[in-house]
Chain A
Amino acid sequence: MNRVFQAELSKFTRRRTIAITAGIVVLAAVAMTAIVFSMAEPTATDGFGGPSEGVLRPTTEDLAAPGGGAEAFSFAVSFTGIFVFVVFTANWASEFSRATFRTLLLAQPRRGLLLTGKLGGLLTYAAAALALGLAAAWAAGLALAPGADISTDQWFTWGALQENAGAYLNAVIGTVAWACYGMALGVLVRSIPIALAIGIVWTGPIENITSDSWTGVAGVYPGLLLRAIAAGGTPDASYVHALTVTAGYVALAVAAAVITFRRRDIVN
């Protein structure tokens, strides 16, 4: 696994790839921070001016709190899950459609090791990108706070460090889960367009439309559970519940991917 992990990481640790990733992450973090700070109001809203429900847009009070520096990051991460999912699904499916899995299997025939090593490499890179995103969002917030008349005194306390670590951990958990769902779908379906269509339709229209008419699904649907984790829990799904059920889903997704991959003929 260690060799596959190293090889997977080597694909991303090229200067050009790092520069592009860092540029996108920093740009997105700064832009999202600017939006959050410019739209922050003393009372929580749903983002459209109405009273808040479910995922909240940070208030000026939230931004001045110890975790204020990570608020924009957490807010952004709650919406980037689908992006992570798309990237990971496309990555896995393309290994089949472009037959690169075949080439890799000739070098590493232990399929379980190949799959988990690749996943580890991808997640390590994603975790590094998230750390950069958090740092960029925090720094941008520090620069923008005086203009929005928000105090950042609490951002330099021990509590702030814990809040930031918590926000980062939640982001990593969300990314790991989305990545595993993407891997399972990519390995099971093997076709980029079909895998993406299934994933996007499920996490977009199906989860959101049915959750409007049945609140109970917020504690069941994988995408809504991850949103609850990113928000530190919602009225419909507590943090612990979301974490526990998501852990089960992730275990199922990884098991399904590994079992399928180990049994499948690589014929293209």
Chain B
Amino acid sequence: MNSDLAIETQGLTKRFGGHVAVDGLSITVPRGAVAGFVGPNGAGKTTTMGMLLGLVGRSSGSGHVLGESLSDPSRYLGRVGASVEHPAFYAGLSGRENLRLLATVGGHDAAQVPALLDLVGLGDRGEDRFGRYSMGMKQRLAVAAALLGDPELLILDEPTNGLDPVAIHEMRRLIGTLAEDGRTIFVSSHQLSELEQTCDWLVVIDHGALLFEGPTTEFGAREVSITLVPQHLEDLGRLERVVCTDGRHAVERDDCRVKVTCAEEQFRVIAAEANRAAADEGIVLVELRSDRMSLEERYLEMVNGAAR
């Protein structure tokens, strides 16, 4: 157990019958990080969060949250605020009444409820019944509920789900504001683009298994794609064969170009070699371009690669 970590799991596994939802997942989230938990729908994000929060039992594996074992969530849940899946509150009670009820159940001071409603932008709608809230308001109420007791760790499961672009922008801003207090935030999404602006740590999973974990700056930054476009499209096949013949780099071809993906520090050498190889074959290039992969491209490549 590392005291610098807010979340740490080892070989976390969940099986539902014959289906393995989470497969030996070992992840870490440093204290104070705004960590994005990314993966396509059905990747196992919600199940993993459910296990961290004691809602879902583990099939095997272990872990710690805020230094306490997953075996007894009651030892740490008082310091954790969470919103998992869709916001679920009593439809007949107002937003304010729902928060007061949860404050009572959790042993928190109900006096903080008005401030929390103001923080999430529901100050003037607190008396409305939850059943009449829009999806954006419901999501914001869920964040307010998660903030009861001023938790050290916030676990938010797809807080932008079902929101329009304006509401998504507001939610991002809210998460950014919450991160300024120094608390750890672990937020999931199936869209990396939603998280790359706010997160400084990324955990990427697919099919319940870890694909990447580390600082956001390390995700995708090391990958560069080199695009080669021949003058004559009939040369595409030959071009694909002559570039990077060592097989150490991913080479892809589409209808009009060949793309080589390599590490950032190698791209100058690879590009020069590819250019020379094309020239030696008598292939004239009309375009030779290098691009750092966007996080989204890197994510899609990673997920698609895992799927293959």
Contact = CB atoms under 8 A, between A and B. Distances in A.
Given A100-B90, A106-B53, A109-B54, A268 B85 contact: yes
Contact of A99 (B77, B85, B104, B148): B85
A102 interface: yes
A105 interface: yes
Contacts of B105: 3-4, 7, 104, 107-108, 114
Nearest to A4: B105
Interface string B44-71: 0001001001111100000000000000
B54 A98 contact: no
Interface in A78-113: 98-100, 102-110
B56 A10 contact: no
B278 to A, nearest CB: 54
Nearest to B14: A265
B243 to A, nearest CB: 48
- Give the bracket for the number of chain A residues in contact with chain B: 20 to 34
Nearest to B98: A103
B15 to A, nearest CB: 11
Contact of A11 (B80, B84, B88, B101): B101
Contacts, number: 72
A14 B105 CA distance: 17
Contacts of B54: 105, 109
A215 interface: no
A138 B80 CA distance: 52
A108 B107 CA distance: 9
Given A98-B88, A105-B55, A106-B84, A267 B101 contact: no
A103 B88 contact: yes
Given A14-B97, A265-B50, A265-B55, A102 B85 contact: yes
Interface in A239-268: 263, 265-268
Given A102-B88, A265-B50, A109 B74 contact: yes
A6 interface: yes
Nearest to B145: A103
B173 interface: no
A98 B98 CA distance: 14
In the A-B complex, the 3 residue pairs with the closest CB atoms: A99-B88, A107-B106, A7-B104
Interface of A: 3-4, 6-7, 10-11, 14, 98-100, 102-110, 114, 263, 265-268
Given A104-B105, A109-B54, 6 more contacts: A7-B101, A7-B102, A10-B104, A102-B55, A104-B102, A267-B56
26 contacts: A3-B104, A3-B107, A4-B105, A7-B101, A7-B102, A7-B104, A7-B105, A14-B97, A99-B85, A100-B89, A100-B90, A102-B55, A104-B105, A105-B54, A105-B55, A106-B53, A106-B80, A107-B106, A108-B105, A109-B73, A114-B105, A263-B57, A265-B56, A266-B56, A267-B56, A268-B85
